[in-house]
Structures are given as C-alpha cells and as structure tokens.
Structure 1
C-alpha cells in the first residue's frame, strides 16, 4: 500500500521538473500503458508512476490552454466577470481576481488578475463590465527569486491586466467576507488591523511592509498569513479542550470523547476554512487534518506514514499544479519532519523537552527544502517560534476569532480586538528585537551534489539520539553555511545582466571583487532592488559590494539602490548624477578617466561633462578581461555617444549593453563603427509602453552582424568575460510553464 502511494506521488510531483509537456497522444498512451501495468504485481509501482505523471501533465496542459491567446496579448477588450477574491488595496490602486469571464467576441481565460489605478471601491462577489488591457502571464526570470509564471499557472490565472474603465453590473450578494474585512480594518487594533485580517480571513494583503519584514526575518509568516497553520491550531485547541474535559471528568459520560473530539475539531477546521475562503492552503490543510483525525479515530495501528501519503496524493490528485508552489513543499516537509522526530521514540519526552526539540529539529529538517527552493532561512526562527506559536495559538488566535464573532454586539467585539492588538504589539516587539539580533540568512545557491550531502546530514541529525553515525550529520549540514563554491578564475569576469523589467541592473564579479552597475527600478509597491537584485546577489554568494555605480538618477536605474545598500555592505557608491541620488547613498561623482584593476580585470569609467540632461549624464563603464570587452552605457543618447567616440578612449570591444534599453535615440552608427561589437545586451520590460527596443535599432544591429540578447525574451543574461564563449539566457533552462517567446 505504501509503495503504491509513494509511486503515485512520484509520478504526480514529477510535473514540477518537466521542461516540456508531452503531446496529448503520448499522454493517452502513457496512461493506457500505466493502467495495463497495474495488472502485474511487479509492474504495479512503475504503472502508478506513469498514471500519476499522465494525470499531472494533463492538468498542466489544461492550465496552459486556459492562458490568454498570443494574438490578444496587449489588446484592450471589454469583458464581464465576477470579483472572485478579496481586493488588495495598494495606495491608489486595487488588485483583484476576476472569474467567470464572459466576452462577446473572444475566448478568454476563466480567471484573470487585474489592477485598477484610481478606480472605485471593489468588493468580492460583485459582477463588473470592464475595459481591460490584457497580457499573457509573464514575469522576470533570474537565477533566484519568485517565479511569477509558475505561481500564476498553479493559481489558475490565465492573464493579468490593467482596468481602463468599468461599470458595476451586479452588487455583491451578501459579501460577508468583504464586509467583515472592512470591519476588521476599521477597528482600533493598535496598528495591527492588517494582521487581524490575516489571522481571521487568511488575507495578508493589509499587513504593512515593516511587519512583513519582521515576520520573514523570524520565520513566523506561517503563524500570521498561511491559513493552513491557523486551521491546525484551531482544530488542536478544540481537540485538546474535549480531551482535557474528558480527563478531568467534565465530559458527559454517555458521549464517547474521542469521536466527538475528532468531529468537533474537523467541524472547527471546516468553519475556519469557510471564513478564510477555502483557498489552496486551506483546502490542503483540511484534507490533511481530516485524514489525520480519521487515522487517530480508526487506523492508528497502520502507523503515521500512511495518512501522510494519503493526504499527499489526495492534494496532488485534486490539483497536481500545487507542486509549483513553495507552500506545498514546506507544509508536507514540516509534517514529515515532525513524524520522523516523534515517531518511534522509546519513552515519552517531557512537554517542555518535546516542544524545544520540535523547534530546532524543525529548523534543521526544513533546511534542505529551503535551500532547494532558494528561500531565506531564519536564523532566529527556532527561538521566535518557540515563543510565538503558543502565544498565537493560545492567546491571540482564539481571541481574534471570538472578537470577530462578537463585532455585532456594540463595544464588545471592538474591545476584545483592541486587546488582541495589544497582544500582537507585545509579540511584534519581541520579534523585532530578535530580527535585529539575527537577520534572515540567504544562502548561496548550492550545486546538486552539495545539496544532497546537506540532505544526508539533515536525515542523520533527525535520527534518534544514540544511533551510530548521527554526529556526522553536523559537518554535512554546515556545508550549507560554508560551501566550497567555485570562484571566478583570475583574469576573468562573470557578468550577469539581471532581468528587472523596464530598468537595468548588471553584476560584474571578479575573483575577489563585485561591482553592481545600476540597481533596477522602483515603483509604488515594486522595488526591484529588494525583490530581484539583492536576492540574486546573495544567491551568487556576494556578501559585500566593492562598488555600486549608478549611471544616472532615473528611477529605472537608481530606484533599487537604497534597498541593496540596506541589505549589503557597500564600500563605495559612484553616480553620474551623484547629487540627485537618494541622500542615504552618500555617492561620489563619477569622474571620467578613472581606471583600476581587480584580479586581472581592468575597469574604466567615462562621463560626458557637457551633458545637460539626465540620460546623457550617464556614467559609462568599460570592463576588459583577457582582451574581451564589455561597454555598459546606461542611458546615453546619440550626442553622448559622439562625445564618447571623440574622447579618444579605445572603444574596440565585443559586447555592448544597449544604451537606453534600445531606444531610437541611442546605439548610433558612429558608436557601432567605433566598437564593432559582436553582440548587444538589451535590458527592458516585456511589452513596455516605450516601444523598446526600437525597430531601427534592431535593424542597425542586424546590419552590423550583431547578436541580440534581450532580457525580456531570454531572462537574465550571463556572460563570462575573458573566455570568448558567448551569452547564455536564463530562459534557456526550459520549464513547461514559461512562455518561450
């Protein structure tokens, strides 16, 4: 039974690692052959793997077919739909999901994610007719960071868009969740109204940025946002209450306590699930909890592994695409770690000993999963959860739910929620202190062989004390902190032009030094420095910037610089417009002619002193490694390019970072003649409003025999300067959910 369930699960999760999906006839043949194998006992496990893979791939293909058609990408259409999610208000804009889409002329996805700037109030359950500019699911692709295309596919979102106009057709029919959300946001919770909404409704959109940072740094996000954790806490409280009453003799003798404890716990879980909207994490938690309670009631003799495998397969059969979400791996891995820690121990631990061991063993057990997913690791997480879990489960969550239920009674509910706000304030003060003492750690990306060694060490440490070879787990786990990573050879430079959308950020690493040229854009609600540049620097193993050179002060180049400086020590900051950068950067003015050498690689900067506007004031960086050259040009225009050619600087090179994102006013023929480059690296946003790169510039590149490498088409671009071996795009690593164009 266990082998069969494990084989089916392997087939279902294999979807996560598929570069391409097989054609439908192949899927049918795979499923038929797998079903035929079930008739032979020895071939049953391989057959279940094939059946699971075919089912998962079929779901993946259905989701891909539900995406916006390519010919409709970027077009503005009128459509009707129902608001299917709680709106996420961000400043002057609101984001929400529109479902049950109808269009008179086009076949559209079932669900789209929209943003409406300066729009009216939107409530869940309303039906709207809106004019929307739709786009296919598309996101930046870098070595580290969130994969938005995978997230949208797993959520069943077939397009995103911005609303231009709209009219309400049908008001929300009893939108009680939205009404409750507004009531919770209106109460006085001492500044923690957003956390209240997350606790009660499972909607974390109202948690402010500082509170998010504290939760992430201390590894306590799951206590405030992920509703599956709340469901487990609430069900555990109800079960424990009935069990306690039965032990104390206060439970009615005519009612068997165990069936009632399991039934009431599951009923509480379903009630909270309805309150939280039955999202994917809630569905997963309810399935797992129901199976665990059924096992506790009837099937304890079968061991703890069986309900875990049944729950795993149940969740994957309902929606195999959940394997694309980090929460899926973390939730099942956490349960597996607890099972391994507590199952099979001789004798019972005291409650305090079991609680403390559970926290630090959970931190160790989830380490390989966090490394594989590229997620930050909270150093203070074990201690923070040791304090926060009982505080939230015993004091905060029950009081928050009770306060929300009593809101119709004047003053009573508000007073209770005010007290909950005070409890949260004390908790966040402690968590803030912990986050300052031990910030979250982002480990460098590990090669596969090293990750497997860390996994082996973790499994050794999770074994019961006294078993042979268990102490050998420590040196293997510590490889994650001090990995033997490969370094850039002397005389070469590793260049990575990150995919930051409509902006620029390029990392140049030599053997012992790192330069960041521009830091990506920052717009309201989106900071590429925080979300893209900093995580990728840390994933590369960079722990200090020797130089951050900001070409000029425009936000698409300089906006992310403050976030990078907050996250990493920066030895020096230079700027083409140093006096116009953020005050905290303390930048020095870029000076033409400055040259230096690091690890056998030469660097030269140039700036047009006579420039009158921001773009031509860009500070230009020329990098040379063993005769191979790259020119990073910022946003210089044709006039600045003429001045650069006339400066006498030797521009003969191999690679040109396309100035001003491929704008028509840049990449002049004079510059191309002076450089004779092999190729151009374009940094721009997919479907940007500026029309970058311009068709004339692309024709000019083609006429000069140049290769064109585009962030919007190829993801982050990698170039090893000094090896003369070309550019590699991150999208070359195929994933079935990524749009190839």
Structure 2
C-alpha cells in the first residue's frame, strides 16, 4: 500500500515540473492505461498515471478559466460578490470578486481586482464595477515572486483595475461576519499589534507593515504570522493535552473514553480555527493532515508513521493539485518529513527541551536544499528565533488572542485579554528585531544542479542517527551549498541582464570582477521594484557589491528603486544625469560627459547633453564595448537629445540598442537608428502600460530595418553575453505550463 501511495504522490507532484500540460487525448490514453495496469504487477505505475492525469486535468480546468485573449486590456462593466477579506495599503484596495457576470462576455469564476483610492469594501457585498481586465501575467526574473503561478494556484482567472463602481447590495454571509470581526479586532487597543492579532485570529496579514514582514523574513518566522499547520496543530495539541491531563488526574468522566474524546475535540477546535481563518488552502491542508494524525493516534498507531504521512500528502494533492505551485506546500511537508526522519529512529527517551532544540536545528539543516531550490532567503538566526517564538506564539499569544476574541461580548474581559496578547506580541517583535540586527536573512546565489545535489546529499547524511560514520562526510558535502563556484564572465565579456520591472528600467552589467546597475526600476504604491525585484535578482545572481549605480535620470520609473538597493547592498558610487533631483541619502554625483573607464578589458563611455531642457533629455547615455560587440543604453532621451548626440560626431554604432524612453513616439528617430545601425533592440516596459509604449510607429521603424526585438513585457528578463556575439534569451522562453508565451 505504501508503494501505491508513493507512486500516486509522485504523479501528482510531477505537475510542478511539467513544461506544458498533456492534451485531452493523451490524458484519456493515460487514464485507460492506468485502468488496464491496475490488476497487474505494474499497479504502482497505474497509480502514478492516475495522479498525473488528475493533476493535469485539474490544471487544465484552471487554465481554461482564464480571461479570453480578446478581452485582455479591455474595460467592461460587470457585477460580482466580494469574497475574502479586502486588503488596504497605501491608498489601494485589493480584493477578490466571485460570480462575476457581464453582458458582453463570459468571465472567469474568480477575479483579483485593485481599486486605487477606492472606498471601503466589505466581504459579502455585491458591486457593479467598471474594470479594465487583464489576463494573469507577472514579471519573470532571476529571482522574484512568481505571480502567475500564485494566481493559478488560487484559481484566479483575471486581474483588473477598477475605474468606477457602485454598491448593489450590503454585506451578507459568513464572509461578512469575518470582516466585521476583523474590524472589531482592529478597533481594540493591543499595544500597537492589532494587525498582528488579526493575522493570528483570522489569517489576515494586511495589518502588518512591510517592516514587520521583513523582520519575520530575516528571522525565519514568517510562518508564525500566517495561520498554518503549526497554529492548527498547536491549538489541537492544547485541547488534546487538556483532555489527557484531566483524565490523568481523574477529572474526566469515567464512562466517556478520554482518547477518542481528546481526538474529536482537538479536531473540532482545529476546524473552528480554520473557519475563523477562512479555510484557505494552507488551512485546509493543515486540517487534513491533523485529522489523519489524530485518527492514527486513536486507532492505527501500529501501522507506523510513514503511512499517515503519505496518505495526508495524497489527500492534500488530490483535493487541490495546484498546491504544488506554492512554496508553503513544499516547506510544510518537507518540515514534517524531516521531523519524521529524525525522530522515528531515535533510541531511548529525550527530555522535551532536548527534543525541541533538536527539532529546530534539524529542520534548519533539512530544509536548506529546499529553500535554495525555491529561491527563498536563509535565516541564520532562524533556529534560535523559532526556539523561542514558536512556543511564545503558540502557547501564549494565540490562546490569549482566541480567548479574547471569544470573550469580546464581555465588556472588559475580552479587550483585556487582547491587550495582553498584543503586548506579548510586541515584546516578541522587539526580541526578533535584536536577533535580526545581528543576523539578517541571506539569499543564496544560484548554483549548478550538481552542487545542489551534493549539498542535499550532505544534509541527508548529517541528519543520520548519531554514531553513523557518514555524518562527517555529509557535513563536508553540505558545504557545497554555500561554497559552490560561481560562473563569471571571462575577461573582455559582459553579462547583461535587462530585468523585468514593469513600466520602468533596470539593467545589470557584470564583468568578471565588477558590477554596474544602470537604473533601478520604479517604486509604485505598495510596491518597490528595487526592493522586491532588482535587489533579490542581484543577490540570486551572486552580486554582493555594486561598483557603480548609474541612474540615467531622476524619473521614478528609472530611479524609484534606487534607495532600497542602496540600503540593501554595498554600493561604491552613485551617478546620475540629475544627481541634485535624487534623495540626498543616495549621495549621487553628476555623470560627466566624456567619462571613460575600463573594467576587465571592457570599455564604458558616458555621454550627457549639456543643453538638456527637461528630465528625459538630461539622461546619461552609456556605451559598453566588449570584444568588439557594443551595447548602447539611452535612458529616456527624446529625438532632440538624439540629434544632439549624433551631432557630437561620436561613433555610435552598436550591435544592441536599448530603446530610448521605452519606445515612445518621441524617440527612436530614424536618424538615431541610422547612426547606431543596431542588429537588435531591447525594450523595457510594462504590459498594458498607460503610455502606449512601445508606439506602433516606433515598432514599424524597427521592423523596417529587420531589427530583432526583445520586449520585457513579452519575454520577461532578458540575458545576453556581450562580447560573445551570441543571441539573447528571455526567461519567459523557458517553458512553464502556467506562463503565457
């Protein structure tokens, strides 16, 4: 039976790694083959095919429910019901809409919408809205949150921006009850941690600030403020221990067996907590796992630990196959697997303190390969932080918060309990801040697969039982995760990355021993691309220091993310065409016309128009030459600045041209294209941007000259090796079944 469950899980998990989904005919063939092999010795293969077929079929249904391409970017009037808890941050209201209908088109079942400057919304309300709808789409970079995968895992078929709307019906249903409870919790004084209590009671993290999330990430404690399996298990364990304690001291009714009662009451407590949290995918996963664990504890302990683990894994995957697209799924089951691996083979009894300490350091080691594979930060302070924070939150803060919420109708008692819970939470954040100051999170650079496998093998060997001679070699192999050699460009070559930052621009230029960032991406309401895209991508690419951050000019779409990068990475110097217009904290100097330097046999040359009359014309232009191959980065210069550049009499010929001003109508003049004579053009812009970049006339000029076009909105981040005369590659070209081509 274990083999069958393992084969079924393998088929379901394989979905995560498929470049594309099999067609309907292939799925039908796999299902028939599985049925034919079921009564034979090849039954494990049958279970594998069943898992793969079901996962692929479920994913196909989700993909088919996406907004049709004809409506992409169109504005429609629609009606629908607000579900979940709307999020409000920096003047933007974000929420999900279900049962949306429109007279003009068939719409997906679930939409995720944003209303800039919108009114207060409540779960359960019915609205009529004018929405500019978009198909699910997100940036693709060396390291960033995969927004498209997240949308598909949530079965969201479209996103959109609201232009106007009217409320048709007031809030109703269970969702409205949760929303009213959230407002009540946020109104109760709790030492400034009202948002944290709402996160712990209702699973609503919108009340936590960006600084709070950064602190939790640095200390490896993000899971504490998101209702997950840990919270569900701790509450259920508390109820179970209470019943067991009453039975042990003779306070439990003798006519009622305590073990089934403890298991049933623990499961009921978990389900009630899940109801408060809205029964999201992580909560459903936790309740399934907990239910099986309690059933195993009640009647099936003789079957061992691996069987309920595999059964829980299969049930979670069968209930929602797309959960494999979420990092939380891999980490939660990975953590359980590590604990089973470590504790199932121990000899003798350990004290609770020794067991708790061992659990923390073994999970820190066991989850290392998975964290690196998922591109998530590693927290050096994580084991120490969790050693304190998990029992603090699970045994003190959460029970007090839940009890205070339950007793809110009592005039002062509920508020007093919530105030105490908030105080404990604030004290915990103060302790976590002290830890984070000494050991912030670290994002490991990407390494070759061979080194990753060696490191993963080392982690397995280190976690072997004490006395096994392979533990020391395992510790040596584990170091491969941290000291794997980095691939650097050879002398006379430049690794160029055009990052996918939306309607903005950010280019990384890295020689063998130096790194330059040309522009830093935009900072928008609630989203700093410097912090969320550029900085993580630099770290993932192994860039620990910038020799120069050259900001073409001070416009937000080019310099908005600069401060976050300066604060998060060592930057030797900052230069800009509008140094005085940038924040003083950047300490930027003006870029100098005619400035040249050589790094690792690569020549860099700067130009700036002294007669510039506006910000765009003041952009610093950078020419990079490596082994005879040239790249021209132009900022936002317009046709007048282009003519001034040509009038200098410089040799502007370049193999690669970065489209001036994102391909706007006022740039990329025929004169510039004649002077540069590029073979390819790089366009950095946002999909469905409000400026209509790149303009059709500019694209026509490019096509007239048969230029190869690389567009970040269509191809994601683009990588090329300047000096090698090789073609560029967009990250979106790497096939993933959930991404649009």
CA distance in 1 between partners of 2:304 and 2:647 (Å): 79
Ranges in structure 1 where 5+ consecutive residues have no aligned partner: none
Q: Give runs of aligned pairs for residues 695-714 of structure 1, distance below 5 A.
A: 695-714=696-715
The alpha-carbon deviation at position 246 of structure 1 amounts to 2.4
Q: Give runs of aligned pairs for residues 64-75 of structure 1, distance below 5 A.
A: 64-75=63-74
CA distance in 2 between partners of 1:592 and 1:254 (Å): 91
**Aligned counterpart, 2:21:** 21
**Aligned counterpart, 1:133:** 132
Contact 2:81 2:99 in 1 (8 A): yes
The alpha-carbon deviation at position 572 of structure 1 amounts to 0.5
What are the superposed Cα offsets for residues 718-737 of structure 1, whole Å, 9 maximum, x if unpaired? 01001001111101101111
CA distance in 2 between partners of 1:339 and 1:504 (Å): 47
**Aligned counterpart, 1:217:** 218
Contact 1:129 1:167 in 2 (8 A): yes
The alpha-carbon deviation at position 292 of structure 1 amounts to 0.6
CA distance in 2 between partners of 1:229 and 1:522 (Å): 35
SS in 2 for 1:496: strand
CA distance in 1 between partners of 2:11 and 2:458 (Å): 26
**Aligned counterpart, 1:558:** 559
Contact 2:227 2:277 in 1 (8 A): no
**Aligned counterpart, 1:402:** 403
CA distance in 1 between partners of 2:726 and 2:296 (Å): 58
CA distance in 2 between partners of 1:254 and 1:377 (Å): 51
What are the superposed Cα offsets for residues 146-191 of structure 1, whole Å, 9 maximum, x if unpaired? 1101100010100001112222222112521000100111111111
CA distance in 1 between partners of 2:577 and 2:478 (Å): 45
Contact 1:227 1:276 in 2 (8 A): no
**Aligned counterpart, 1:380:** 381
**Aligned counterpart, 2:110:** 111
Q: Give runs of aligned pairs for residues 534-545 of structure 1, distance below 5 A.
A: 534-545=535-546
Matched, 1:643 2:644: yes
**Aligned counterpart, 2:495:** 494
CA distance in 2 between partners of 1:731 and 1:556 (Å): 22
Give TM-score scaled by structure 1 length: 0.99
SS in 2 for 1:281: helix
What are the superposed Cα offsets for residues 576-597 of structure 1, whole Å, 9 maximum, x if unpaired? 1001112210001000111111
The alpha-carbon deviation at position 212 of structure 1 amounts to 1.0
The alpha-carbon deviation at position 226 of structure 1 amounts to 3.2
RMSD of aligned C-alpha atoms?
1.0
SS in 1 for 2:78: strand
CA distance in 1 between partners of 2:360 and 2:243 (Å): 26
**Aligned counterpart, 2:733:** 732
The alpha-carbon deviation at position 129 of structure 1 amounts to 1.5
Contact 1:498 1:716 in 2 (8 A): yes
Q: Give runs of aligned pairs for residues 443-462 of structure 1, distance below 5 A.
A: 443-462=444-463
The alpha-carbon deviation at position 119 of structure 1 amounts to 2.1
Matched, 1:150 2:149: yes
The alpha-carbon deviation at position 229 of structure 1 amounts to 2.3
CA distance in 2 between partners of 1:378 and 1:236 (Å): 27
What are the superposed Cα offsets for residues 273-301 of structure 1, whole Å, 9 maximum, x if unpaired? 01111000000000000001111111111
The alpha-carbon deviation at position 104 of structure 1 amounts to 2.5
The alpha-carbon deviation at position 238 of structure 1 amounts to 1.0
What are the superposed Cα offsets for residues 466-493 of structure 1, whole Å, 9 maximum, x if unpaired? 1121111112222222211222111100
The alpha-carbon deviation at position 105 of structure 1 amounts to 3.0
SS in 2 for 1:693: coil
**Aligned counterpart, 2:569:** 568
SS in 1 for 2:85: coil
Matched, 1:653 2:654: yes
**Aligned counterpart, 1:666:** 667
Give TM-score scaled by structure 2 length: 0.99
What are the superposed Cα offsets for residues 491-511 of structure 1, whole Å, 9 maximum, x if unpaired? 100000000000000000000
SS in 2 for 1:491: coil
SS in 2 for 1:708: strand
Contact 2:153 2:325 in 1 (8 A): yes
Q: Give runs of aligned pairs for residues 223-238 of structure 1, distance below 5 A.
A: 223-238=224-239
What are the superposed Cα offsets for residues 23-57 of structure 1, whole Å, 9 maximum, x if unpaired? 1111111111112111212x111121111111111
Ranges in structure 2 where 5+ consecutive residues have no aligned partner: none
Q: Give runs of aligned pairs for residues 174-185 of structure 1, distance below 5 A.
A: 174=173, 175-185=176-186
SS in 1 for 2:252: coil
**Aligned counterpart, 2:172:** 173
SS in 2 for 1:87: strand
The alpha-carbon deviation at position 385 of structure 1 amounts to 0.2
Contact 2:575 2:589 in 1 (8 A): yes
CA distance in 1 between partners of 2:86 and 2:178 (Å): 11
What are the superposed Cα offsets for residues 682-738 of structure 1, whole Å, 9 maximum, x if unpaired? 000011111100111111111122111100011100010010011111011011110
CA distance in 2 between partners of 1:140 and 1:119 (Å): 25
CA distance in 1 between partners of 2:208 and 2:320 (Å): 29
Provide the aligned length of Structure 1 versus Structure 2.
739
**Aligned counterpart, 1:464:** 465
Matched, 1:277 2:278: yes
CA distance in 1 between partners of 2:293 and 2:180 (Å): 34
**Aligned counterpart, 2:581:** 580
Contact 1:199 1:227 in 2 (8 A): no
What are the superposed Cα offsets for residues 184-216 of structure 1, whole Å, 9 maximum, x if unpaired? 111111111110110000111111111111111
The worse-fitting range, judged by mean Cα deviation, of 495-504 and 188-197 is 188-197
CA distance in 1 between partners of 2:432 and 2:686 (Å): 37
CA distance in 2 between partners of 1:223 and 1:505 (Å): 34
SS in 2 for 1:617: coil
Contact 1:35 1:48 in 2 (8 A): no
